[in-house]
């Protein structure tokens, strides 16, 4: 019974971590995109530079939930609390 509780808690914790990381990344992507559009509206001649910076930033922000998912999967399958 104790074994099942530890596994269930691990799965719930992993789902919570991945969900919060995805929510944070979505919020960050929205803010970056909004500021980039605002910057392009103010300086249309700098569009290419702003777009490149925005795409790099969005890519870096999107790496966070991917890393969180990998860590969660590793911790589920190699759970240190199980014997």
Which residues 6+ apart lie within 8 Å of 27 measured at CB? none
Across residues 24-32, what is the average pLDDT? 96
The band of 70, judged by pLDDT with boundaries at 50, 70 and 90, is very high
Is residue 2 pLDDT above 80, yes or no? yes
How many other CB atoms sit within 10 Å of the CB of residue 37?
12
Across residues 41-60, what is the average pLDDT? 96
**Phi, psi for 7 (deg, rounded to 5):** -65, -45
**Residue 82: its pLDDT value, please?**
77
Across residues 60-71, what is the average pLDDT? 94
> Would you call 4 helix, strand, or coil by DSSP?
helix
């Amino acid at each position: 019974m104790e074994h099942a509780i530890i596994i269930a808690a691990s799965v719930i914790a992993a789902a919570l971590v991945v969900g919060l990381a995805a929510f944070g990344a979505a919020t960050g992507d929205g803010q970056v995109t909004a500021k980039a559009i605002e910057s392009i509206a103010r300086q249309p001649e700098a569009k290419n530079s702003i777009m490149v910076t925005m795409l790099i930033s969005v890519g870096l922000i999107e790496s966070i939930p991917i890393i969180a998912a990998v860590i969660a999967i590793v911790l589920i399958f190699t759970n240190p609390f199980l014997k």
